[in-house]
Chains A and B, each alone.
Chain A
Amino acid sequence: MLTVAELNEIRTRVRKQLRVRTNGSPVKIVIASGTTAISSGSRAVMAAALEEIAVKGLSTVQVEQREIDVPATEQTAVLVCAHGEEVLYKQCTPEMVRELISKAVTESAE
């Protein structure tokens, strides 16, 4: 038998997973994709970002990817959008993105 508290627990847990479908997260991390980004290692940056979010259990963060128009040498670019502000980080490595998330994102999220 399910209690109301257990019902609410499921709601809270799964709602985080469904946030992707609302496009309404307060924090978005856009990781550059496209040829120059991918060749500079953006896939590894993406993997690191996702892992870090999972580890930290951040529910209000949304990860997107699209082409970010910066010179090839500046890849991998990462755009952090939080509360109406956008900050562009260049030449991101997996380590950097982990740090970015744990600092900038953890502070602004929740």
Chain B
Amino acid sequence: MAYVRSHVLVCAGTGCTSSGCKAVEKAIEQEVSRLGLDSEVKIVETGCFGFCKIGPIVMIYPEGSFYCYVKPEDAAELVSEHLLKGRMVERLLYRDVQNPKPTAFFTDIGFYKKQKRVALANCGAIDAENIEEYIALDGYQALANALTQMTPAEVIHVIKQSGLRGRGGGGFSTGLKWEFAARSPGPIKYVVCNADEGDPGAFMDRSILEGDPHAIIEAMAIAGYAIGASQGYVYVRAEYPIAVNRLSIAIDQARQLGILGKGIFGTKFSFDLSIRLGAGAFVCGEETALIASIEGKRGMPKPRPPYPAVRGLWDKPTLINNVETFANIPQILRKGAEWFAAMGTEGSKGTKVFALAGNINNTGLVEVPMGITLREIIYDIGGGIPDKKAFKACQTGGPSGGCLPASLLDTPVDYDTLTAVGSMMGSGGLIVMDESACMVDVARFFLEFTQEESCGKCVPCREGTKRMLEILERITEGHGTPDDIDLLVELSATIKGASLCGLGNTAPNPVLATLRFFRAEFEAHVVDKKCPAGVCQALLSYSVIADKCKGCTLCKKVCPVDAISGTLKQVHIIDRAKCIKCGACVPKCPFKAIVR
């Protein structure tokens, strides 16, 4: 067999797939073939690199050259220069926002420097559709070791010692959860992987399934051994076709090798996995709703207790963990609880994956040690706010979390601190907002989401979120009153306290947190009838500053509804009754004479 001197890794995560990585890969393949390099160079499709903004990404080893925004037209140059002649193609190498010099080796890139990749360790590093590559990087060693060298109780002990907490939002101790499920009596139990990732903008679970599906299979098999289950289900959104496909391939490969099935590694332990598709209902991320959905029922939560660990899927004891939680398991068993517990803070061990989105330079997926500050994530890794705008707030915890202001940028990111300041860890969405965001509007957006996604079962959530949304809409439309703010607070208490499931219990959080840190902005809307950020259309009124207007008529020409009148060299006037507040006139005015 020929020795392959160079590996070309093409990111084939969802992000890069949509920016065209498949065409790039094909073009590189053709070029490699045309230059007769087939036997020397191997092209590998990997999972997500995390830096989705600059995709398609191509990484060439052994040099570790990190090429971004690669187009199919670049393939010829890339192959002949880099692969044939050994010259890096500088124009395609990544450049930091702060540092215009191209960065060759990817670990030197600011975006990656402060990251600590555990759950994402294999994402972008291996061919997700090749079980052997996973095995080469110590894959399935933890399972082999657990099955042949450890008792189930010992496995659970290690997970407990590691301090791992659920990465899906709740932050419950994973080891305890395993222990509860293990203690529940019964010959039939289930392990379920919650891959119904639903927070707006979050895609860590998708990326792990796309980039490292075997880690999930291995972890679920370990969990099955630990609690006494021989069947597992992965509940994954049907909107994740790549993840579903790679996971199916991985399950097939594992079955073929005998890593799934009967008598794994020559022991008496048997375990198999099935995939169940969901349609992306947010509420199906809630354990009991997810179970109902797997059972073929409408995805609606049930009151707990009984908890799934006691009575879950088909009324059998069921362990449910989310994807990222499972992704940590093999490494914890391989490297030890101490290794894991050495990362993070007192109460929050290990790392956390975040999906950076919003007004931030480096959007994408990052994994950081717990305890890192928001500032480090946003500025050091995320590259700060674009267009020299000021930071206003960052939203964590998705629709269950809250917006934190600039004064809290040095807050360490861990479960307890985030909850204490009025937000929550959640599943890892991190949306950054600059000064142009209206916080009332942001609260309204999240309420709209939860109201849409409420299952409709319990009254506080179904009816309460609707009324909260109506109040917020009223405020953004300029019809709010100070009483409305009190009503919001009161409704929040009812919904939080009395809702049936976590969706309702946390639905008011985005409103409460914004009220806590940005109350003045709410008051500006209801008292002064002004939207300080200039977002709420109804509260805007455009006018011409007479001193600045030179009567150039540009604004008049661009106005789509003829709301601006005036003749050449005369001060123009905006008719507010006609104005539809489209804002088209503002950038047209060369003299900045039009104000909101």
Chain A–chain B contact at Cβ < 8 A: yes
Chain A contact residues, CB within 8 Å of chain B: 1-4, 7, 10-11, 13-15, 17-18, 20-21, 23, 25, 28, 32-35, 38, 46, 50-51, 53-54, 58, 62-67
Interchain CB contact under 8 A, A1 and B6:
no
Residue B125 at the chain A interface, CB threshold 8 Å: yes
Q: What is the CA–CA distance of A54 and B7 in the complex, to the nearest angstrom? A: 16
Q: What is the CA–CA distance of A28 and B133 in the complex, to the nearest angstrom? A: 22
Q: Which residues of A contact B135 (CB under 8 A)?
A: 7, 10-11, 14
Q: Which residues of A contact B40 (CB under 8 A)?
A: 46, 50
Q: Which residues of B contact A34 (CB under 8 A)?
A: 85-87
Determine which of A17, A28, A46, A67 lies in contact with B4 in the assembled complex, contact meaning CB atoms within 8 Å: A17
Residue B64 at the chain A interface, CB threshold 8 Å: yes
- B interface, by DSSP: helix, strand, loop or mixed? loop
Interchain CB contact under 8 A, B265 and A21:
no
Q: Which residue of B lies closest to A30 (CB)?
A: B86
Given A4-B265, A14-B133, A64 contacting B1 (CB threshold 8 A): no
| Residue tally, chain B, CB below 8 Å to A | 41
Supplied contacts A34-B85, A58-B3, 9 more A-B pairs, CB within 8 Å: A2-B259, A3-B265, A4-B144, A13-B132, A20-B61, A23-B61, A38-B85, A64-B86, A65-B5
Q: Which residue of A lies closest to B144 (CB)?
A: A4
Interchain CB contact under 8 A, A4 and B148:
yes
Q: How distant is B142 from chain A, measured CB to nearest CB, in Å?
A: 11
Interchain CB contact under 8 A, B136 and A18:
yes
Interchain CB contact under 8 A, B7 and A20:
yes
Q: How distant is B15 from chain A, measured CB to nearest CB, in Å?
A: 21
Q: Which residues of A contact B137 (CB under 8 A)?
A: 15, 18
Q: What is the CA–CA distance of A48 and B6 in the complex, to the nearest angstrom? A: 16
Chain A to chain B contacts (Cβ below 8 Å), 21 pairs: A1-B263, A1-B264, A7-B141, A11-B138, A13-B132, A13-B136, A14-B132, A14-B133, A14-B135, A18-B126, A20-B4, A23-B62, A46-B40, A50-B39, A51-B2, A51-B3, A53-B3, A54-B2, A64-B86, A66-B87, A67-B85
Interface flags, B57-92, vs A, CB<8A=1, else 0: 000011110000000000000000000111100000
Interchain CB contact under 8 A, A2 and B265:
yes
Number of A-B contacts (CB under 8 A): 103
Q: How distant is B89 from chain A, measured CB to nearest CB, in Å?
A: 13
Given A4-B265, A10-B132, A11-B135, A20 contacting B85 (CB threshold 8 A): no
Q: Which residue of B lies closest to A2 (CB)?
A: B258
Residue B587 at the chain A interface, CB threshold 8 Å: no
Given A15-B136, A20-B62, A21-B61, A67 contacting B87 (CB threshold 8 A): yes
Interchain CB contact under 8 A, B4 and A33:
no
Q: What is the CA–CA distance of A35 and B257 in the complex, to the nearest angstrom? A: 48
Q: Which residues of B contact A35 (CB under 8 A)?
A: 85
Q: How distant is A43 from chain B, measured CB to nearest CB, in Å?
A: 8
Determine which of B1, B85, B136, B265 lies in contact with A33 in the assembled complex, contact meaning CB atoms within 8 Å: B85
Q: Which residue of A lies closest to B1 (CB)?
A: A54
Q: What is the CA–CA distance of A64 and B88 in the complex, to the nearest angstrom? A: 12
Interchain CB contact under 8 A, A10 and B258:
no
Q: Which residues of A contact B87 (CB under 8 A)?
A: 33-34, 66-67
Residue B9 at the chain A interface, CB threshold 8 Å: yes
Q: How distant is B77 from chain A, measured CB to nearest CB, in Å?
A: 15
Q: Which residues of B contact A10 (CB under 8 A)?
A: 132, 135-136
Residue B590 at the chain A interface, CB threshold 8 Å: no
Interface flags, B124-148, vs A, CB<8A=1, else 0: 0110000011011111110010001
Q: How distant is A13 from chain B, measured CB to nearest CB, in Å?
A: 8
Interchain CB contact under 8 A, A33 and B86:
yes
Q: What is the CA–CA distance of A20 and B3 in the complex, to the nearest angstrom? A: 10
Interchain CB contact under 8 A, A50 and B3:
yes
Q: What is the CA–CA distance of A38 and B139 in the complex, to the nearest angstrom? A: 41
Q: Which of A11, A25, A35, A51 has the most CB of B within 10 A?
A: A11
